[in-house]
Amino acid sequence: MGLHHTAIPRTIEAHGHDTAADRRAPAVGEAAGTWDTGARRVVNALTIDVEEYFCYAYPGDTLSREEWAALESRAVPHTLETLKILEQHGIRATFFVLGWVVDREPHLLREIRDRGHEIGSHGFGHQLVYTQTPERFRDDVKRSIDVITDVIGEMPVGYRAPSFSINAECMWALDILAELGFVYDASIYPTRMRENGAAGLRTEPHRLPSGMWEFPAATLKIGGLRLPFGGGGYLRLYPFLITRWATHRINAGGRPAMVYLHPWELDPSPPVRPRSRLRRFQHTVNLAKTRSRLLHLCAEFDFAPIGDVLKQIEAETEQSIEVAAAQ
Ligand SMILES: [Zn+2]
């Protein structure tokens, strides 16, 4: 059936940590009986994109590599703070690390890896995928694989595009990622959002024809609209009750949601901000609320790295195939 446990990321097998489902942290909503689906608790995917506060890539509003090099690094303290929060809640996550940051702070990648988290690639130079040729994209991702492999001796298992920039115009990127050996991609918002996103695609984790998994970002259909939620600017912009409600809605259907954030979002006053008013708003709205929202999510939901969530989906799919065959 094309479902083989050999496809499970080897780093997860090597660690042998408990899954989030084993820990069963008490949940606010569950205690009140509000969100009890009457079934197992769904384990959601928690993902952290490790980059600097100045690595934003908005069309026409980016800084040059020379400007990056001259700016103060804050990725280390904010990533360490993120690690501490996750450790306090007994949560492991997937960290998509930017190759440029790994090049500058290799010890940070070792620290993340040594604490048992799953390592993915966020590319090297944080360029939007739809602005690149297939050749430039391959070179950028390959460079990130090389720098990560040099530091930890292991290939990153998954890939997250800068700003979820794999859209309908650059689906070729998925074949390149499969060729480079990734187990999964987590770069697509299956809804139309300005330059990013692609409407009409599957919204649940699924296998692509190449055999690589696609784990789309969280969306929820409300009325005729499919709305993005669950991370970054959406986590900060929407009232937290919306994020909480939407995550429970997805989980009530037996499906995992994907939450993402950046360590720099824990910094309420970044020294550099985008120039345009709209981008500055997207980048900085409610930064002071990120920490408390992350803490609430960690206390209320079960989370695991993407590789663990996919492993659980594979196991359940195999089980249902066996049950169907036995009937
Ligand atoms: Zn990014």
Higher pLDDT, 18 or 252: 252
pLDDT band at 307 (very low <50, low <70, confident <90, very high): very high
Mean pLDDT value across residues 133-146: 98
Q: How far is the CA of 233 from the centre of ligand 1 (A)?
A: 12
Q: Quick one: pLDDT at residue 148?
A: 98
Q: Which residues of 255-275 are buried (b: 16+ CB within 10 A; e: fewer)?
A: ebbbbbbbbbbbbeebeeebe
The 8-class DSSP code of residue 60 comes to: T
pLDDT class for 321, splitting at 50, 70, 90?
confident
> What does the mean pLDDT of the chain come to?
85
pTM of the predicted protein model:
0.86
278: phi then psi, degrees, rounded to nearest 5: -65, -45
* Ligand 1 centroid to residue 83 C-alpha, Å: 18
Least confident of 29-38, 89-98, 147-156: 29-38
Q: Tell me how far the alpha carbon of residue 16 lies from the centroid of ligand 1, in angstroms.
A: 29
Give the per-residue pLDDT at 243: 92
Ligand 1 center from residue 99 Cα (angstroms): 11
pLDDT band (50, 70, 90) for residue 40: low
pLDDT of amino acid 272: 83
Task: Give the separation between CA 212 and CA 208, rounded to whole angstroms.
Answer: 6
- The structure tokens listed for 323 are 């049950």
List the chain domain ranges: 43-326
Distance (Å) from CA 17 to ligand 1 centroid: 27
CATH class name, domain 43-326: alpha beta
Which pLDDT score is estimated for 16? Answer: 35
Q: What per-residue confidence (pLDDT) applies to 249?
A: 93
Ligand 1: distance of its center to the CA of 272 in Å? 16
Q: How far is the CA of 205 from the centre of ligand 1 (A)?
A: 21
pLDDT in tens, 68-106: 999 999 999 999 999 999 999 999 999 999 999 999 999
The C-alpha atoms of residue 96 and residue 169 are separated, in whole angstroms, by 23
Centroid of ligand 1 to alpha carbon of 217 (angstroms)? 14
Q: Is the pLDDT of residue 7 over 50?
A: no
pLDDT of residue 198: 72
For residue 48, report the distance from its CA to the centre of ligand 1, in Å.
9
Alpha carbon distances (Å) from 163 to 10, 19, 262: 27, 28, 11
- Comparing CA positions, the residue from 125, 164, 160, 171 lying closest to residue 144 is 125
Segment 126-149 shows an average pLDDT of 97
The rounded Å distance from CA 50 to ligand 1 centre is 7
What percent of the chain stands above pLDDT 90?
61
pLDDT band at 322 (very low <50, low <70, confident <90, very high): confident
Question: Residue 194: pLDDT above 80?
Answer: no
Is pLDDT of 171 > 80?
yes
Q: What is the mean pLDDT of residues 226-255?
A: 89
